Structure 1
């Protein structure tokens, strides 16, 4: 029986790459998107073209009131498409970049980052726990910026640090169900995340490339296959770990 992975924010960037990587390995995918419905459906079509099953749902990962209705839609899809009551893997990937120096960060910026990157992950995971199969996996996305500092990223890095702590506690509390929980922390990646800063700003790109042992910033293809590999049975004994995927950033 194929494994089913739910990935939040998978219409583009790392989430899209992870979804396609999982499908290439024989998995089925449920993906969420905030507003890019056409992009999400394009990912679904790519996965279906591989002979795998996929479906996309709209979800604002920073809106706690949306989680219970989403869980009901998810439950119906599991029953109707897969004939199952549960899914196997949850990848909390959805997020956005909002950067400012500490002295210039607004409360609205701060609250937006907390709601999407921490509070939303906490309560969406809580809502979905009854639907995650025993023996399943959870992967939470963090950032290389929790280990190093870079001007303007304080609030973003702080909420990602909270995710790393949450992952450890989830691993402890869900261990009795055989659910492994890990954090994946990418380094700087060329995507449209944060307005495409790393991809489009040559100065920022060079700054991160110069601090990376392999001499460049990352690409989505450096991250998605790693997440797919982490979810495989080959890595069933990895639990409660922060795994940095950065090419050797600031070592």
Structure 2
């Protein structure tokens, strides 16, 4: 089966010429029409995006509203970060044994289950995002001007990390060097030590002059992302081109 072109959830200003090069290599049209996550404008739309969240919108927003601007780190998928290969019941036991919820009471919110990521990342209280660098999460963080702490596990996540840290310069590596192989998760062992996490968090949330530069660049990219979907924006233009090309073929 052949295709006429490729639709990409990104925007021209972020790709910095990569989309044009990809178009040449593939010999196909490439349309950057994103970020699609910015199509959700209202809080309820952001809350309901993706799977059904396991927390009420009001509860989530009330907690975030109590926090100072850029003072919160969003850490999804603790059951993956904690230890690869354990099942959810073992994670529950770990949470209980470590009194995790008690220790974070008043300074953290634990969501057991699916979290409304767009709603969270778009809130002004969020100052950092610990991510495995899947593309959806990466582009969503860019959309809302949130610097990233990168923790790739496998596949293209390492390439996305390189893009975030070395090209965009809006991320801090946590230090993972070895990919996790499906089926061998339990054999992998500890990928990152506590001290590395502490260092990455401090560099992201503070980080002196370099930290300020990262935050400024992240904010600028977020502005570019929003403009891309405006009336005269690059993604809006590409959507029109995609529709016209589709009608021709």
| Fold shared per TM-score above 0.5 | no
Larger Rg: 2
TM bin, normalised by shorter chain, reads: under 0.3
- Structure with greater proportional strand content: 1
Q: Give TM-score scaled by structure 2 length.
A: 0.25
Higher relative CO (Cα under 8 Å, sequence separation at least 6) belongs to 2
